[in-house]
Structure 1
Amino acid sequence: MNRIASTGLFTRAIKYGERMAIVNTPVEGLGHHGSLTYNQLLNETARLSTELTKRGGRTDRDDINQERVAFMTTASTDYVCAQWGIWNAGGVAVPLSPLHPASDIEYFLNQSKASVVMADQDNYDKVKDIVKSLNCTHWIDLIKLDKSTEKYNNQNNNKYNNNNNQNNNQIFSIDRDRNAMIIYTSGTTNRPKGVVTTHANIEAQISTLVDAWGWTENDKILQVLPLHHVHGIINCLGSALWSGAVCEMMPKFSAKAVIDRFVQDKNGAPSRYQVPPLSVFMAVPTIYAKLIKYIETECDNDENRQEIKEAFQKLRLMVSGSSALPVPVMKKWKELSGHDLLERYGMTEIGMALSNPLHGQRIPGTVGFPLPGVETKVAKKSGELLIRGPQVFKEYFDNPKATAEAKDPEGWFATGDIVSVDKTGRYSIQGRASVDILKCSGYKVSALEVEREILGNEKVEDCAVVGIPSVEYGEVVAAMVVVKPGQTLSKEELDQYCRTHIVGYKLPRILRFVPEIPKNSMMKIDKKIVKKMIQDSIQIDSGNY
């Protein structure tokens, strides 16, 4: 008999029973295959939670009382089993990314005071080496995860294949206000903070998206995003499993693999993993830009492009988020796929707060309206967006000062993002107050607005705008630019383009061409590094802009 906690995700999973829950997309060289039904997922949840509570030979507990349990896996069924197993054991899940350097992992383990680290077979040796080298004051247990699908996908293994009855689950009560997860902020301007969310926070974040975006048990999403961030954890994985839908996990993004997968689904290649068909896709703007580039450079005939477009048109929803969607990318994607991307706004601390409508007009450069259950207001002097509601995080772990600075006594969270609101109530993001709102010659300049104009140049592939300190102007606008392959663009030509599209006080006074703009593991531009690179180049140029 499985002991299953009374969280919303788990109790709904019991209802979905033998429906398919998680599918691993086979990727050459990574060895992740197979799938799990909801019943099988619950079996693994119960098994792993027992392993956590009884570790060290203990028999006197069924609850690890909010111990922090870090875990690192490839994006696969193993990830979900680890996450759910931690929650079922009464622990706090701390997801780690295989993309993070060892120094970041060390910081997360020390800051969260993790007592256990779980890792799959792909990542165990890396985690083991990091734990061995840690200089910390507490003991950390290390658990190696078995491949969660092997026992079920072996047709001869009757011991497991016969244990799929939903009556095998015994529900026990768990406080929804208990801590459930710690996700670390991207840390592009400061040291990452551990964002603590409760089970109630997570359920509020998921349920509002399920309602707003029309999720049903007939959906299937191809999940390509990192799973140490709310975009992948809440928007993709959580929403699918809450709805009884299927989440197909692609362990490593490649434009070719994604395109091939959608075309395969369109053509109905026989596979028990392809029921139901793919219907939802979510990504960051960088991924959409990479898909566009692949289609334009590798799919060199109209027949191939039409087949790809037809494959995308079978989807009911495509979403973009985590950073501003450049208007040229949105327009080009519409041309190649037939989809108007749904752009939304959210943060680690709040889940999603604003969204363009599922049905209705989606205006480029805007992030729509407040989601159900989300309260918003705009600070009169600064224009900063404030958010309140059940989806707002509980606290920054072990950092009461930062928590008090971010949330006022009435529960309003200061996002740090400057917004504008039109007469219909539709929001647009002007940028981060800390890095995207520049003060030039007494004017406030939105870095995102300047970026949008530069990206309008047909020869520009990518760009990042930052402010560089200036004695004369306070800050000057600086732009780092990537030119499209096969194109040539001089500083003089780009400067002339900017002068015809951007008002004088917003003009970039510094232009730097680079082969690639630095980005973090969530594919967001790392403006701290961009700014340093430009400042270093100024010094090399003897101070000349």
Structure 2
Amino acid sequence: MSSLFPALVSGSTAPRPALRFGDRSLTYAELAASAGALAARLDGRERVAVWATPSLETAVGVVAALLAGVPAVPLNPKSGEGELGHILGDSAPSLVLAEPGVELPSPVGDLERVDVQVGAAGQDTPARPGTEPDDPAAPALVVYTSGTTGPPKGAVIPRRAIASTLDALADAWQWTGDDVLVHGLPLFHVHGLILGILGPLRRGAAVRHLGRFSAEGVTRELGTGATMLFGVPTMYHRLAEALVEDTELAKALGGARLLVSGSAALPVHDHERITAATGRRVVERYGMTETLMNTSVRVDGEPRPGTVGVPLPGVDVRLVEEDGTTIASYDADGTPTGTYDGETVGEIQVRGPNLFTEYLNRPDATAAAFTEDGWFRTGDMAVVDPDGSVRIVGRKATDLIKSGGYKIGAGEIENALLEHPAVREAAVTGEPDEDLGERIVAWIVPADPEAPPAAEELADHVARRLAPHKRPRTVRFLTSLPRNDMGKILKRALPDAVAKAPKHD
């Protein structure tokens, strides 16, 4: 297998920008030297942890491990001691790579520590083009899942998955070495690390990390030569809100070549507000830890707000009913087949070189994640629209509501609610109901907490936008929705707010 980073191992010493975090930066020559020197120290290690702060050191540490062929385990600095203990016990790294001066909590602090040196240190040491494994299936990263259904599982990501995903995105997004990416995403997850750091480096492009996301940072970077922005829906919602008065932000976003949102669905209302203010549309893609990226809206295709586009090159996608019947799939040329009416809901299943190889130390969980014929069960429910675009309607475990004989996706109701001017945030779940099986419950953060909209008004709004059977039967008002570090709503945490939330049935 060829190198994951051709620009690093080509021997080039050109002062081309590679990484910038705040006022600190590295050229490709400096990155090759720093990562190459560290890679030499990692030879023979079975696995290393990386204390994944938003820093040059994290990026250099991960690149060095990949150059050395040593699997890296990114650690979330916000994780608690119990979760860190589980991850370290499960993955058994022999050392931790960290930013100098950063204090490591227990039990991470008990590991052998190697401070990552960047810049002047080791710049005369060349990169090591011969050290990367030739085996495409060789493990590159062990990325731990969010652990919503139990202790986090370590998804083993092979080198072929990183290469195939990044090359497929380059095709869909026309991503080249001339691009400059801006983002403020955490580096312990697929979105921020693989797409946001390794993606530009594979293309020979540059990345500017904001450290902490802000509209001001986005304006500054897109206004000074950056061409792409990656974010999650929470970030784009904040940008949409700021665009009401910020003409400089509108100009900066309008000048970008590509705006990408991922990790959760971007509400159609925010799509429309951003496009109206900037003339630029936001592109959505769909992936997860175990599969990296599966689908995306293409930059050379039609705008499709509310969808995650079509399968990426090399990725097979199908929608399957509970009994195993395939509802819809795609031919080799990407043409949809089966039922693609935008209404028939099925679970997304995928296969391709982008998939993980196993859950570390969990053969039982690995076997359960795949069908007998080798497709990965994503647990995401979707429909295929008549034009072939995939539209996700929710998670099988939390977002598929069976009410009155209908299968209803929470996502489309959430989008409808967010189009109401009195709604700032919305989440939809199902609760047991003796008559309907499940009733639809809407959790609302009102735009004006002192004057929330009437429950019946919101229910009627959904019924007009979608269908009468999709109207919420219960509405609960909250001051905020619980979210994880990637901005995803933690629906399992919503019932904890019941006692504090006024109920309108």
Q: Quick check: TM above 0.5?
A: yes
Match of 1:352 among 281, 293, 305: 293
Q: Are residue 503 (structure 1) and residue 467 (structure 2) matched?
A: yes
Match of 2:27 among 27, 37, 40: 37
**Please, which moves more after superposition, 368-377 or 494-503?**
494-503
Q: Answer yes or no: is the 8 Å Cα contact 2:215–2:249 preserved in 1.
A: no
Match of 1:422 among 385, 400, 423: 385
- Which residue matches 1:18? 14
Paired residue secondary structure (2:243): helix
**Please, which moves more after superposition, 214-223 or 382-391?**
382-391
How far apart, CA to CA, are the structure 2 residues paired with 1:244 and 1:456?
40
Matches within 5 A, 1:187-206: 187-206=147-166
- Which residue matches 1:284? 232
Q: Are residue 255 (structure 1) and residue 255 (structure 2) matched?
A: no
How far apart, CA to CA, are the structure 2 residues paired with 1:523 and 1:179?
28
Deviation sequence 1:66-123 (CA, Å, 0-9, x none): x22111142222111110222233321111122333333222222222222222136x
Q: Are residue 368 (structure 1) and residue 309 (structure 2) matched?
A: yes
One-letter code aligned to 1:228: F
- Which residue matches 1:63? 44
How far apart, CA to CA, are the structure 2 residues paired with 1:425 and 1:319?
20
Q: Answer yes or no: is the 8 Å Cα contact 2:295–2:309 preserved in 1.
A: yes
Match of 1:443 among 402, 406, 410: 406
How far apart, CA to CA, are the structure 1 residues paired with 2:21 and 2:112?
31
How far apart, CA to CA, are the structure 1 residues paired with 2:99 and 2:178?
30
Q: Answer yes or no: is the 8 Å Cα contact 1:35–1:77 preserved in 2.
A: yes
Following TM superposition, by how much is the alpha carbon of 1:177 offset from its aligned partner in structure 2, in angstroms? Answer: 1.9
Q: Answer yes or no: is the 8 Å Cα contact 1:256–1:294 preserved in 2.
A: no
How far apart, CA to CA, are the structure 1 residues paired with 2:83 and 2:394?
26
Matches within 5 A, 1:311-322: 311-322=252-263
Q: Answer yes or no: is the 8 Å Cα contact 2:66–2:132 preserved in 1.
A: no
One-letter code aligned to 2:39: S
How far apart, CA to CA, are the structure 2 residues paired with 1:448 and 1:189?
20
- Which residue matches 1:272? none
- Which residue matches 1:411? 374
One-letter code aligned to 2:28: Y
**Please, which moves more after superposition, 210-219 or 183-192?**
183-192
- Which residue matches 1:474? 437
- Which residue matches 2:106? 129
Q: Answer yes or no: is the 8 Å Cα contact 2:53–2:186 preserved in 1.
A: no
Q: Answer yes or no: is the 8 Å Cα contact 1:375–1:387 preserved in 2.
A: yes
- Which residue matches 2:187? 227
How far apart, CA to CA, are the structure 1 residues paired with 2:492 and 2:449?
29
Following TM superposition, by how much is the alpha carbon of 1:289 offset from its aligned partner in structure 2, in angstroms? Answer: 0.5
Q: Are residue 184 (structure 1) and residue 144 (structure 2) matched?
A: yes
Q: Answer yes or no: is the 8 Å Cα contact 1:468–1:531 preserved in 2.
A: no
Q: Answer yes or no: is the 8 Å Cα contact 1:128–1:142 preserved in 2.
A: no
Paired residue secondary structure (1:9): coil
Q: Are residue 519 (structure 1) and residue 483 (structure 2) matched?
A: yes
Q: Answer yes or no: is the 8 Å Cα contact 2:183–2:229 preserved in 1.
A: yes
One-letter code aligned to 1:456: E
Paired residue secondary structure (1:423): coil
How far apart, CA to CA, are the structure 2 residues paired with 1:366 and 1:401?
33
Following TM superposition, by how much is the alpha carbon of 1:499 offset from its aligned partner in structure 2, in angstroms? Answer: 4.5
Following TM superposition, by how much is the alpha carbon of 1:517 offset from its aligned partner in structure 2, in angstroms? Answer: 0.6
The alpha-carbon distance between structure 1 residues 207 and 318, as it changes in their structure 2 partners (threshold 3 A), is same
- Which residue matches 1:171? 130
The alpha-carbon distance between structure 1 residues 384 and 308, as it changes in their structure 2 partners (threshold 3 A), is same
Q: Answer yes or no: is the 8 Å Cα contact 1:466–1:531 preserved in 2.
A: no
Following TM superposition, by how much is the alpha carbon of 1:293 offset from its aligned partner in structure 2, in angstroms? Answer: 2.0
Q: Are residue 490 (structure 1) and residue 453 (structure 2) matched?
A: yes
Paired residue secondary structure (1:330): helix
The alpha-carbon distance between structure 1 residues 473 and 518, as it changes in their structure 2 partners (threshold 3 A), is same
Following TM superposition, by how much is the alpha carbon of 1:129 offset from its aligned partner in structure 2, in angstroms? Answer: 3.3
Match of 1:142 among 113, 119, 132: 113
Following TM superposition, by how much is the alpha carbon of 1:314 offset from its aligned partner in structure 2, in angstroms? Answer: 2.0
- Which residue matches 1:386? 349
Q: Are residue 465 (structure 1) and residue 412 (structure 2) matched?
A: no
Structure 1: segments with no counterpart, 5+ residues: 1-5, 27-32, 53-61, 135-139, 153-158, 266-276
How far apart, CA to CA, are the structure 2 residues paired with 1:327 and 1:314?
21
The alpha-carbon distance between structure 1 residues 486 and 431, as it changes in their structure 2 partners (threshold 3 A), is closer
Match of 1:49 among 19, 35, 39: 39
One-letter code aligned to 1:143: V
Paired residue secondary structure (1:454): helix
- Which residue matches 2:91? 112
Following TM superposition, by how much is the alpha carbon of 1:36 offset from its aligned partner in structure 2, in angstroms? Answer: 1.3
Q: Are residue 82 (structure 1) and residue 41 (structure 2) matched?
A: no
The alpha-carbon distance between structure 1 residues 19 and 421, as it changes in their structure 2 partners (threshold 3 A), is farther
Following TM superposition, by how much is the alpha carbon of 1:19 offset from its aligned partner in structure 2, in angstroms? Answer: 4.4
Structure 2: segments with no counterpart, 5+ residues: 324-345
Following TM superposition, by how much is the alpha carbon of 1:346 offset from its aligned partner in structure 2, in angstroms? Answer: 1.0
How far apart, CA to CA, are the structure 2 residues paired with 1:502 and 1:223?
35
Q: Answer yes or no: is the 8 Å Cα contact 2:172–2:297 preserved in 1.
A: no
CA-based RMSD of the aligned residues comes to: 2.4
Deviation sequence 1:307-334 (CA, Å, 0-9, x none): 3322222211111111111110000010
Q: Answer yes or no: is the 8 Å Cα contact 2:51–2:97 preserved in 1.
A: yes
Q: Answer yes or no: is the 8 Å Cα contact 1:76–1:250 preserved in 2.
A: no
One-letter code aligned to 2:157: T
How far apart, CA to CA, are the structure 1 residues paired with 2:404 and 2:321?
22
Q: Answer yes or no: is the 8 Å Cα contact 2:52–2:188 preserved in 1.
A: no
Paired residue secondary structure (2:236): helix
Q: Are residue 91 (structure 1) and residue 86 (structure 2) matched?
A: no
How far apart, CA to CA, are the structure 2 residues paired with 1:484 and 1:100?
31
One-letter code aligned to 2:385: D
Q: Answer yes or no: is the 8 Å Cα contact 1:477–1:506 preserved in 2.
A: yes
How far apart, CA to CA, are the structure 2 residues paired with 1:487 and 1:238?
46
The alpha-carbon distance between structure 1 residues 423 and 504, as it changes in their structure 2 partners (threshold 3 A), is closer
How far apart, CA to CA, are the structure 1 residues paired with 2:115 and 2:164?
32
- The percentage of aligned residue pairs carrying the same residue is 33
The alpha-carbon distance between structure 1 residues 314 and 502, as it changes in their structure 2 partners (threshold 3 A), is closer
Paired residue secondary structure (2:76): coil
TM-score, scaled relative to structure 1: 0.82
How far apart, CA to CA, are the structure 2 residues paired with 1:372 and 1:487?
50
Paired residue secondary structure (1:346): strand
Deviation sequence 1:445-493 (CA, Å, 0-9, x none): 1111111111110121111111122344322211111112587323344
How far apart, CA to CA, are the structure 2 residues paired with 1:233 and 1:399?
24
The alpha-carbon distance between structure 1 residues 446 and 531, as it changes in their structure 2 partners (threshold 3 A), is farther
Paired residue secondary structure (2:181): strand
